[in-house]
Amino acid sequence: MSVMPRGTMFFESGRYGWSETHWYQSQSASLTQVQADLDILAKKRAWLLGAGATLTYCRVSYDDTFRDSLLDDGPVPTIAANGIPYYNPALESLYADSPFISVLLRAEGTALYRKQIYLGACPQGSEELPVFGLGPAWLSAFNLYSKALQALWGFKVQSKDPVAAPRMAVSNASFAGGVATLTLASSIPGGFTPPFKLRVSQLKATPNFVPGVYTVASYALPPGTGTVVLREQVASTVYDGGGIVHPITYTVVPYTNLIPIGVTHRKRGVGYDPPRGRAKRRQSV
């Protein structure tokens, strides 16, 4: 499994809080580099917030490395007018909309992948405008944010690449003591180390075998074939034939376009204590 750096920004508006996560395109970058670039992105994201909403923390971590992260406190300084914090001087008089109102973006990554992004705490009135720009000042800030995302960031997807996630036939299967052992007609390509996820379908058995995603507990490599032992407990059954498996792999797809679609309702949680990250913590200076 490859190292996949990600950056998370934490927001608060009133008594509500939420976070937004993006994935770093370069999988060889250090957390220090990712943190520096996330701070730049956070400044551009903050300029889309209405008055009263704040971007409170930035955290970077590796998706597949437990207990390794960096946390910035207060990554973007605010300006205050009449006790109300704001970031973008052009939006100083526009209060943030309800935390439950979000501008919906369609994020595109190449021609194969799509993702929804919800921009919360935008200035009030976005639901009343036919064009989701909230005026030239907001549109200008959004274009800068969109370019920053496309330059270095992306989103995590399940790979559709037939080379990265090949499909293989099952030649035999046994089910004993709740343990399922599948014999494949060909070996799984290198790069997969248990535990990893495997999708199993079209396997015929009596009684029926439930298709779905399973975890590979162990994987042997006889010449020309592969023997897979599933971690999950399965009912005893008799193999009748068939079966297709393919390993599930994930990749980071760079953002290629961000399109405002409309304004929608997005449930938010109650405000939270400061995030702790995992193990490492770096105060901003």
pLDDT in tens, 141-153: 999 999 999 999 9
Task: Please give the pLDDT value at position 163.
Answer: 64
- Give the mean model confidence (pLDDT) for residues 51-69: 85
Higher pLDDT, 255 or 280: 255
* Dist CA 34 CA 25 (whole Å): 10
> Are 127 and 173 in the same domain?
no
> Are 112 and 15 in the same domain?
yes
* Dist CA 222 CA 218 (whole Å): 13
> Are 33 and 87 in the same domain?
yes
pLDDT band for position 270 (cuts 50, 70, 90): low
> Are 18 and 41 in the same domain?
yes
- Give the mean model confidence (pLDDT) for residues 73-79: 85
Percent of the chain, pLDDT > 70? 85
Task: Please give the pLDDT value at position 273.
Answer: 64
Task: Please give the pLDDT value at position 239.
Answer: 93
* Dist CA 83 CA 54 (whole Å): 13
| Domain housing 57 | 5-158+252-270
- Give the mean model confidence (pLDDT) for residues 4-33: 92
Count how many domains the chain has: 2
pTM: 0.79
* Highest mean pLDDT out of 10-14, 133-137, 162-166, 247-251: 10-14
- CB of 19 closer than 8 Å to CB of 8: yes
* 48 CB-contact burial (10 Å; exposed 0-12 / middle 13-18 / buried 19+): buried
> Are 58 and 138 in the same domain?
yes
pLDDT at 220 over 90: no
- CB of 250 closer than 8 Å to CB of 214: no
Structural domain includes residue 44: yes
Higher pLDDT, 277 or 4: 4
Task: Please give the pLDDT value at position 274.
Answer: 65
pLDDT at 283 over 60: no
pLDDT at 241 over 50: yes
> Are 197 and 154 in the same domain?
no
* Dist CA 162 CA 109 (whole Å): 18
Structural domain includes residue 103: yes
* Highest mean pLDDT out of 151-155, 218-222, 228-232: 151-155
